[in-house]
Chains A and B, each alone.
Chain A
Amino acid sequence: MDNPDRNLEKKVMLEDLLKLKKLERPDEAFWENFDKQLQHKILERLVCKPSILSQIPHFLGIICKPAISLSALALLMMGVVGNNYRSIVYSEPQIMIKGDILYGQENSLSKLASVKKNYIKSNIVTDGLNNNSHSSMSISPSSKGVRFSGNIDLPSLGKVVASNRIY
């Protein structure tokens, strides 16, 4: 029998501790079940060789992976472009100008986008609006009125009202 006092003197090494891992093992009953399961699995694999049809999902997976990546890329691009597009067309605030001054200019305005922009910059938007923020301004050619929208920095709603004097 082991003397506890002698055991206290003994030094436990790392190697000894790791050897204890060998004690962690299943009992005999486990191996019976293990063998049965293994035989069953081997037989199953021998009998049921993978058919071509069963391989289809695997190959689809290979094909679909780049397709999914491309779709994700396309969505991302849409997001980026859409965001820019939104800043041009849908950015608020939108100001509708349906004045006599512009009505007569409609045909000539719809010819050239840059002319439209410059025209609005120089003739319509003057008081109270920050000219630097008009770069994304656009005009809808289909509309009778001149509609411009963009990242317009309106200091207050009063300024928008003030711009109505050009009607």
Chain B
Amino acid sequence: MNISETITKPLISTSEVRSLEASEDMLWVQKVQAGEVIVFDKLVKKYRERLYSVVYNLTSNREDTADLTQEVFIKAFRSINKFKGKSSFFTWIYRIAVNTTISHLKKNKLRHFFSFETIQEEGASTEVLDVLCSKITSEKSLFLKELQERLNEALQSLSIPHRTVIVLYEVEGLSHHEIAQVMKSSEGTVRSRLHYAKQQLQVLLKDYLK
């Protein structure tokens, strides 16, 4: 039995959530564009965790992540008047986050080191941890540290486009269509990158997939 199957399905679909979010975002964006700068704080509070997560999982460096996430919001704030609503604010700001992170990674490709976030053991994913921990003989904290290192190393071993796709799809839960919009590529490209990235990760993390 797969763990994914045991997690209960949400009552409202992701696309419906996105649709509701998009209309709320557009309202706030229009207010900011009209001069109510303080409303931008609402957008920051709404997206800061998600964008932080994207940047962190692409860089595996918590210090860089804080600066880059702030940079993303500054860029968004400075160019919010150019946002016409052709795409959703969600994909627009995710695109800024991905592009900012990618250019940072390219600029610093020789300076590469990890600094990890603390693992907050709560929520549905802890069930996975319980299963994993039941199969080990070592101490749980040591195992978690090792697992965190291996996961981050495996992600960082992927190329930037493959890493971006896997982070957006598997960690952030974006759809193929949304990722294609964020990365300005076709859905086919997203699917093939995802397939390849998963194949790579299966090999790299085979010790845990038992």
Binding site for B on A (CB under 8 A): 2, 4, 7-27, 30-31, 34-35, 37-38, 41-42, 45
Q: Is the CB of B116 within 8 A of A22?
A: no
Binary contact readout B135-151 vs A (1 if CB under 8 angstroms, 0 otherwise): 10000000000011001
Contacts of A37 in B (CB 8 A): 66, 70
Q: Is the CB of B73 within 8 A of A38?
A: yes
Contacts of B210 in A (CB 8 A): 11-12
A-B contact pairs, 13 of them (CB 8 A): A2-B127, A12-B128, A12-B132, A12-B210, A13-B4, A18-B166, A20-B119, A22-B53, A23-B122, A24-B120, A26-B62, A30-B66, A31-B49
Contacts of A22 in B (CB 8 A): 53, 123, 125, 171
Q: Is the CB of B44 within 8 A of A12?
A: no
Q: Using A2-B130, A11-B210, A16-B128 as known contacts, say yes or no to A23 and B123 having CB atoms under 8 A apart.
A: yes
Q: How far is the CB of A33 from chain B (nearest CB, A)?
A: 9
Closest to B65 in A: A26
A25 to B124, CA, bound (A): 15
A19 to B169, CA, bound (A): 10
Closest to B147 in A: A20
Q: Using A10-B131, A25-B117 as known contacts, say yes or no to A34 and B4 having CB atoms under 8 A apart.
A: no
Q: How far is the CB of B145 from chain A (nearest CB, A)?
A: 12
CB of B107 within 8 A of chain A?
no
Count residues of B near A (Cβ-Cβ below 8 Å): 55
Q: Is the CB of A42 within 8 A of B208?
A: no
Contacts of B201 in A (CB 8 A): 14, 18
Q: How far is the CB of A58 from chain B (nearest CB, A)?
A: 16
Q: Is the CB of B70 within 8 A of A10?
A: no
Q: Is the CB of A24 within 8 A of B131?
A: no
A17 to B57, CA, bound (A): 13
Q: Is the CB of B134 within 8 A of A45?
A: no
Contacts of A16 in B (CB 8 A): 2-4, 125, 128
Q: Is the CB of B125 within 8 A of A20?
A: yes
Q: Is the CB of A34 within 8 A of B70?
A: yes
Which chain B residues in 51-69 approach chain A with CB under 8 Å?
Answer: 52-53, 56-57, 62, 66, 69
Q: A10's contact among B3, B44, B77, B202, by CB below 8 Å, is which?
A: B3
A135 to B132, CA, bound (A): 79
Q: How far is the CB of B149 from chain A (nearest CB, A)?
A: 11
Q: Is the CB of A17 within 8 A of B52?
A: no
CB of B103 within 8 A of chain A?
no
A26 to B3, CA, bound (A): 26
A7 to B78, CA, bound (A): 50
Which chain B residues in 188-210 approach chain A with CB under 8 Å?
Answer: 198, 201-202, 205, 208-210
Closest to A2 in B: B130
CB of B16 within 8 A of chain A?
no
Q: Using A11-B1, A12-B132, A25-B49 as known contacts, say yes or no to A35 and B205 having CB atoms under 8 A apart.
A: no
Contacts of B209 in A (CB 8 A): 11-14, 17
Told that A10-B2, A17-B205, A45-B78 touch, could you supply 11 new A-B pairs with CB distance under 8 A?
A: A11-B3, A12-B3, A18-B201, A20-B125, A21-B151, A21-B167, A22-B125, A24-B56, A25-B49, A35-B48, A41-B70
